[in-house]
């Protein structure tokens, strides 16, 4: 029975690792568009960061100490991108309606997002995520000891 559980656990690992790799790739592919100030890209990058954060939180798959710092950094990135995700430059309003944010608010949100993406902290996060994806610290299932007696 234990061997069957181990087999199921190990079969789930590649799928989770593949999903994690895909979400990290998605997060990174939105980077240039966020840098150019695209609101939709900021929302998509935040969503991808949230997906990575969620996958890393699976206690059945990954060692908790190995992912706690990555999850904290992903939360920081999401927080930095958040204002840009929810704002729009005043000139992008359609149909003659004014945008919910004014230009200074948008510029401030954009500056915050851009500062985060240009920081050493962001580049360290990217490197750490890439390293994590190449060799994920998969949680080892507990071995039960059978005592003969």
Residue 145 counted as domain residue: no
With 0.85 as the threshold, say if the pTM is over it. Answer: no
108-124: string of b/e by CB count within 10 Å (b at 16+)? ebbebbbebbeeeebee
Residue 121 counted as domain residue: yes
Residue 52 counted as domain residue: yes
Residues near 133 by beta carbon (within 8 Å), at least 6 away in sequence: 17, 20, 21, 24
Residue 139 counted as domain residue: no
Residue 108 counted as domain residue: yes
At residue 19, the pLDDT reads 84
In tens, the pLDDT along 67-76 reads 999 999 999 9
**Residue 13 structural domain:** 2-87+99-134
CATH label of the domain that carries residue 63:
1.20.120
Residue 93 counted as domain residue: no
In tens, the pLDDT along 93-104 reads 444 444 555 778
Residue 61 counted as domain residue: yes
Structurally, the chain folds into a number of domains equal to 1
Residue 148 counted as domain residue: no
């Amino acid at each position: 029975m234990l061997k069957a559980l181990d087999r199921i656990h190990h079969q789930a690992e590649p799928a989770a690792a593949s999903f994690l790799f895909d979400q990290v790739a998605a997060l990174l592919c939105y980077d240039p568009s966020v840098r150019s100030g695209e609101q939709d890209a900021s929302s998509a990058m935040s969503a991808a960061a949230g997906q990575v954060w969620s996958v890393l939180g699976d206690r059945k798959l990954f060692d908790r100490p190995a992912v706690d710092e990555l999850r904290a950094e992903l939360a920081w990135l999401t927080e930095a991108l958040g204002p840009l995700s929810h704002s729009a430059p005043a000139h992008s309003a359609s149909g003659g309606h004014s945008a919910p944010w004014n230009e200074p608010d948008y510029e401030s949100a954009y500056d915050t997002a851009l500062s985060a993406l240009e920081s050493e902290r962001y580049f360290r996060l990217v490197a750490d995520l890439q390293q994590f994806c190449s060799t994920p610290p998969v949680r080892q299932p507990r071995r039960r000891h059978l005592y003969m007696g």
